[in-house]
Structure 1
Amino acid sequence: MTRNLSGLLAPAVAVLLVVIVVAAVAGAWPPFVAVESGSMAPEVERGDLVVVTSTERFPWGGLVGAAEPGAPTTFGSAGDVIVFDPPDDGYPPILHRIAFPVTAGEDWTERADPALLDGDCATIAACPAPYDGFVTYGDANGEYDQSAGIAPVVREEWITAKALFAVPNLGWFRVGVDAAIARVGIVPTAVGFGGFAAVTGGFGAVLLGRIAARRRVRDEGER
Structure 2
Amino acid sequence: MKRTRSPTGLLAPAAAVLLVALVVAAAAGAWPPLVAVESGSMEPAVERGDLVVVTATERFPWGGLVGHADPDAPRRLGGAGDVVVYSPPGDENRPILHRIAFPVSEGEDWTDRADPELLDGDCADVESCPAPHDGYVTYGDANGEYDQSAGIAPVVREEWITAKALFAVPDLGWFRIGVDAAIARIGPLPTAVGLGGIAAVTGGFGAVLIGWVGRGRGGA
Alignment TM class, shorter chain as reference: 0.7 to 0.9
Q: Which residue of 1 aligns with 2:175?
A: 173
Change (3 A) 1:83 1:11: same
Q: Which residue of 1 aligns with 2:184?
A: 182
Q: Which residue of 2 aligns with 1:42?
A: 44
Mapped contact 1:54–1:61 kept (Cα < 8 A): no
Q: Which residue of 1 aligns with 2:35?
A: 33
Change (3 A) 1:22 1:194: closer
* 1:81 paired residue among 83, 86, 99: 83
Mapped contact 2:13–2:203 kept (Cα < 8 A): no
2:45 and 2:73 map into 1 onto residues whose CA distance is 18
**1:5-16 aligned within 5 A:** 13=16
Q: Which residue of 1 aligns with 2:161?
A: 159
How far has the Cα of 1:182 moved from its partner? 2.0
How far has the Cα of 1:209 moved from its partner? 3.5
How far has the Cα of 1:10 moved from its partner? 7.9
Change (3 A) 1:19 1:90: closer
How far has the Cα of 1:90 moved from its partner? 5.1
- Any gaps of 5 or more consecutive residues in structure 1? none
Give per-residue Cα distances to partners, 1:132-157, cap 9 Å, x unaligned.
Answer: 00000000112101111111110001
**1:140-159 aligned within 5 A:** 140-159=142-161
How far has the Cα of 1:102 moved from its partner? 0.7
2:206 and 2:198 map into 1 onto residues whose CA distance is 12
Mapped contact 2:13–2:200 kept (Cα < 8 A): no
How far has the Cα of 1:91 moved from its partner? 4.0
Secondary structure of the residue that 2:125 maps to in structure 1? Answer: coil
How far has the Cα of 1:100 moved from its partner? 0.6
Mapped contact 1:50–1:164 kept (Cα < 8 A): yes
Change (3 A) 1:183 1:10: closer
Q: Which residue of 1 aligns with 2:109?
A: 107
Change (3 A) 1:60 1:18: farther
How far has the Cα of 1:96 moved from its partner? 0.4
Secondary structure of the residue that 2:98 maps to in structure 1? Answer: strand
Mapped contact 2:13–2:199 kept (Cα < 8 A): no
Change (3 A) 1:178 1:17: closer
Q: Which residue of 1 aligns with 2:207?
A: 205
TM (normalized to structure 1)? 0.84
Secondary structure of the residue that 2:166 maps to in structure 1? Answer: strand
- Any gaps of 5 or more consecutive residues in structure 2? none
Q: How many residues align?
A: 214
Change (3 A) 1:87 1:11: closer
* Percent identical: 75
1:16 and 1:188 map into 2 onto residues whose CA distance is 17
Secondary structure of the residue that 1:122 maps to in structure 2? Answer: helix
Q: Which amino acid aligns with 2:203?
A: G
* 1:128 paired residue among 99, 110, 130: 130
TM (normalized to structure 2)? 0.85
1:197 and 1:157 map into 2 onto residues whose CA distance is 37
Secondary structure of the residue that 1:201 maps to in structure 2? Answer: helix
Change (3 A) 1:210 1:172: same
How far has the Cα of 1:201 moved from its partner? 2.9
Secondary structure of the residue that 2:58 maps to in structure 1? Answer: coil
